[in-house]
Amino acid sequence: MIAAIAEVGRRLPATAAIIASLPLVSVLGMIFLWFERPDAENMAVHAQATFWYVLPSLPMFLAIPLMLRQGDNFWVALAAGCILTVVLYFAMIQLGRRLGLKL
């Protein structure tokens, strides 16, 4: 999958972004989880938690291009985006507890 994204990305960056954004890992994870434990409530909790954890990862995809366009080094921008995501994950965990979300 990574090789396909890289190959397509050389010619069609936006198309590669669509492929990369597909929730293939989540879908495969849900399929395997369902085979291991076919429990609708467990799957519902898993899918809902996945939704809430996707949200803190999204700002990374805005921070990286912003930093690159400002002339920052790719590796610095990538590291900053990853650190931002980790910080936002912890914030989501705290917010989730306050809102009573099953995370």
Q: How far is CA 14 from the centre of its chain?
A: 17
| Residue 74 sits in the same domain as residue 92 | yes
H-helix or E-strand spanning residue 63: helix 60-69
For the chain, how many structural domains are there in total?
2
| Residue 55 sits in the same domain as residue 86 | yes
Q: What is the pLDDT of residues 27-44, one digit of tens each?
A: 999 999 999 999 999 999
**Residue 69 DSSP label:** H
Q: Which domain holds residue 5?
A: 1-38
103: pLDDT confidence band, cut at 50, 70 and 90? Answer: confident
Specify the pTM. 0.82
102: pLDDT confidence band, cut at 50, 70 and 90? Answer: confident
Cβ within 8 Å of residue 28, ≥6 positions away: none
